Amino acid sequence: MALAALERTTPSGVPGGIVLLVSAPGVSPSSPDGLPVSGTTPVQQTQFTKDHSGLDNAAENDDLDSGDEDVSIPKPDSAQELLRTLVEWLLVAVCALGLALLIRMFLIQAYYIPSSSMEDTLHKDDRVLVNKLSYRFGDIQRGDVIVFAKPDDALGDINDFIKRVVALPGETISFSNGQVLIDGETFDEPYVDRPSTFVNGRLMDCANEPASVDYCLVPEGTVFVMGDNREGSTDSRTFGPVEIDSIVGRAFIKLWPLGDIGFL
């Protein structure tokens, strides 16, 4: 019996096993001349295959292990975290300041009362909020408390005045027995506890001529204003009607002192 060892390769070129050729005993077929025919001897093949399962399993385990490894993400140090927090708060502060400026410029502004001219409604050092959009969407009403720029003829170093609207454009205002008359009709003023009079009994300035008259016809585009403290107020009785274009807005709430908060 003849043995022959052949090395078998896989398609990838890696040795895949050993093939052992075993020649069976017996007489080989003969050619007509009695010589054996080449390549006709029965051969029993026995294959011994190398076991690669262990290597393959190890490779799979390595792949799984590499996938299960923790990936550590670097954390920012305390200095970076502090810097980021400071930047965030700075952005918040800038946005808040910008919003406050926009509100102050176009919507609402707080004012303090510098004198006693609006007593007993408002006292010196009170704080009020003024709505700057009031007259963009509505008309001025008699009795409104308004803030307006200092008229050219007014004295003192105060830039903004706060008074109450008493007469509207086109109306005639006069006084009789301490009461205000609008177009000859009595005008009730519950917020005034003192008689109302002209300065020295007469208006000192108005659209009428002469300058000192006993009544005033309020021109278009203006309003006639007075302080609630009629004896201690410098108002339209002195410097004349106020241009509507000079009005900042309407005071709508008193917010200081805290014990006297309320709408105006």
Interatomic CA distance for residues 238 and 155, integer angstroms: 10
CB 106 within 8 Å of CB 211: no
Q: DSSP secondary-structure letter at 73?
A: P
Is 117 assigned a catalytic role?
yes
User: Which residue type is seen at 183?
Assistant: D
Residues near 127 by beta carbon (within 8 Å), at least 6 away in sequence: 110, 111, 112, 113, 254, 255, 256
| 3-state secondary structure (DSSP) of residue 79 | helix
Q: Which of 163, 233, 236, 254 is catalytic?
A: 163
Spatial distance between the Cα atoms of 50 and 30, rounded to a whole number of angstroms: 38
First vs last Cα of the chain: how many Å apart? 126
Which residues have CB under 8 Å from 123's CB, separation 6+? 113, 116
Kindly give, in sequence order, each residue whose CB lies less than 8 Å from that of residue 135, ignoring residues fewer than 6 positions away. Answer: 244, 247, 249, 250
- Beta bridge mates, 23: 43
CA-based R_g, the chain, Å = 53
Closest CA to 174 of 233, 237, 228: 237
Q: Which of 117, 134, 196, 236 is catalytic?
A: 117
* Residue 163 annotated to the active site: yes
Q: In angstroms, rounded to a whole number, what is the distance separating the alpha carbons of residues 134 and 138?
A: 6
Q: Tell me the catalytic residues.
A: 117, 163
